[in-house]
Amino acid sequence: MENRIPRADESHRFQAAQLDMPPRLLLGPGPSNFHPRVRQALSMNEVGHLDPSFIHLMNEVQELLRYVWQTGNRFTIPVSGTGSAAMEATLANCVEPGDVVLIGVNGYFGERLCDMASRYRAEVRRIEKPWGEVFSPEEIKAGLERHKPAILGLVHAETSTGALQPMESIGRLCREFDCLLLLDTVTSLGGVPVLLDRWMVDIAYSGSQKCLSCPPGISPLTFGDRAMARLAARKTKVANWYLDMTLLGKYWGDERTYHHTAPINMNYAFREALRLVAEEGLESRWERHWKNAKLLWDGLGDLGIRCHVDERHRLPSLTTPVVPDGIDGRAVAGYLLRNFNIEVAAGLGQLAGKVWRIGLMGFNSRAENVTLLLSALEKALSAV
Ligand SMILES: *Cc1c(COP(=O)(O)O)cnc(C)c1O
């Protein structure tokens, strides 16, 4: 027995202290704080990934997702991983080498879409706007005419800029040009109106840790009939095994075939987060996000701070206030974290050093958080 147990190398063994994370109020671009009921759901008994009780839960998660997304799409599932995994899954499945993919780039996440699409060997074309602006239907139409893409990818809520892309007539244009419409709804889902079927969106994805107030690690995607037809007609295998929906669809569909072990407890948490949305009702939730954002915008105005994005296209779930002249934006964010346990983020890319990014997402979109942030910000501005 003794010589069956080899000597372990003890050099990396240490007495780690008990974990004690600071109680942050997460008012940045995500993650947002999760709801206490989500925390409770996360700690429920573990079951197997083919357990009847889990299969029942999977069906509920899919149906709640259809409500939250306002879609009848049968293929609506959560992917194991963060929003970027769902983003990558949409491209990996819908792009075949050589496909022209047109991306609207007006922020950081449009850039990420271009990068990912190119890795699946798409021929990536871009239409561009300065960070903080949105695309008009005419600009989209001109892009479709010029590039004749197989897919148009847009970011509904650009978390890097605080702009909300109007979606009313774009789906119809895409049908006219026989192009699939792919929409990033990571920072809009559960916070601002997302009407997938009305907007004729074919492919969409989101994340859990923004307006749905669930920990990061599970991210939904949905494919409409046109996207499913594209998937069925593929000439090449999906180049990413883990995110291959032709395989994963068999686990989430009727066959229940093992592909990879679902993150069981994350699904519990996600179900609870979606249940909270259904309980509140989408309309009330959209109104709450809108009202609290307005409260923030008015309060910033009182402090003499203006917002980077024109009010017509301003995103309620993420605001980008302009850092006043002579103020070090990063120092203010540092002060808020050290003195108030409040996280806000600095700008990035074209907006680096120019704005802060303040999120009022899901459970965190509450009047008391706005009041607290504004008074903390006032202190920080005179302290740094
Ligand atoms: C956060 C975010 C993502 C990526 O999500 P991760 O969870 O960080 O992987 C994608 N798109 C937008 C618009 C986002 O805000």
Last residue of a domain, one of 278, 309, 336: 278
User: Which ligand 1 atom sits closest to the C-alpha of 157?
Assistant: 13
- Atom in ligand 1 nearest the alpha carbon of residue 155: 13
Could you tell me if 104 and 56 lie in one domain? yes
Ligand 1 centre to CA of 5 (Å) is 46
255 with 306, same domain: the answer is no
Instruction: Give the pLDDT score at 3.
Output: 76
Question: Of the residues 260, 278, 296, which one is the last residue of a structural domain?
Answer: 278
pLDDT the model gives residue 299:
98
Same domain, 367 and 264: no
Task: List the CATH number of the domain containing 364.
Answer: 3.90.1150.10
350 assigned to some structural domain:
yes
The answer on 244 and 153 residing in a single domain is yes
State whether 223 and 326 are in the same domain.
no
Host domain of residue 143: 36-278
Summarised one tens digit per residue, pLDDT across range 278-337 is: 999 999 999 999 999 999 999 999 999 999 999 999 999 999 999 999 999 999 999 999
Q: Of 27, 29, 37, whose CA–CA distance to 278 is shortest?
A: 37
Domain end marker among 278, 293, 326: 278
Rounded CA-CA distance 126/142 in Å is 12
Co-location of 309 and 285 in the same domain: yes
Structural domain contains residue 18: no
Which pair of structure tokens corresponds to residue 318? Answer: 């993420």
Predicted confidence at residue 186, as pLDDT, reads 98
pTM of the predicted model over 0.95:
yes
The answer to whether residues 299 and 158 belong to one domain is: no
If residue 221 lies in a helix (H) or strand (E), which one and from where to where?
strand 218-223
Which residues are within 8 A (CB) of 12 and not within 5 positions of it... i.e. 6 or more apart? none
34/289 Cα distance (integer angstroms): 16
The verdict on 73 and 62 lying in the same domain is yes
> Which CATH number belongs to the domain containing residue 219 in this structure?
3.40.640.10
Average confidence (pLDDT) over 345-358: 97
**Exposed / middle / buried, residue 313 (Cβ in 10 Å: 0-12, 13-18, 19+):** middle
How many whole angstroms from 158 Cα to the centroid of ligand 1? 9
Question: Is residue 14 a part of any domain in this protein?
Answer: no
Q: Which of 105, 106, 109 to mutate to test the pocket of ligand 1 (most atoms within 8 A of CB)?
A: 109
227 and 135 together in one domain: yes
Residue 3: inside a domain, yes or no? no
Q: Do the domain assignments include residue 1?
A: no
- Tell me if 246 is assigned to some domain: yes
Residue nearest to atom 14 of ligand 1 (CA): 186
How many distinct structural domains can be found in the chain?
A: 2
Answer whether residue 1 shows pLDDT above 60: no
Domain shared by 248 and 292, yes or no? no
- Domain presence at residue 19: no
Sequence-separated (6 or more) residues with CB below 8 Å from residue 202: 174, 180, 181, 182, 223, 224, 226, 227
Q: How far is CA 190 from CA 94, 193, 214, in A?
A: 25, 8, 11
Please check whether residue 222 lies inside any domain of the structure.
yes
**What is the C-alpha to C-alpha distance for residues 40 and 298, in angstroms, rounded to an integer?**
35
Q: How far is CA 34 from CA 41, 73, 382, in A?
A: 11, 27, 31
Q: Is the CB of 111 under 6 A from ligand 1?
A: no
C-beta of 87 in contact with ligand 1 (< 6 A): yes
207 lines ligand 1 (CB under 6 A): yes
Average pLDDT, the chain: 97
Ligand 1 neighbourhood includes 155 CB (under 6 angstroms): yes
pLDDT of residue 15: 97
Among all chains, which residue has been given the structure tokens 């699946």?
120
Q: Is 33 a residue whose pLDDT tops 70? A: yes
Ligand 1 atom nearest residue 158's Cα? 13
What are the pLDDT digits (tens) for 93-147? 999 999 999 999 999 999 999 999 999 999 999 999 999 999 999 999 999 999 9
Q: Say whether both 262 and 291 belong to one domain.
A: no
How many Å separate Cα 315 from the centre of its chain? 14
Pocket flag, ligand 1, residue 84 (CB < 6 Å): yes
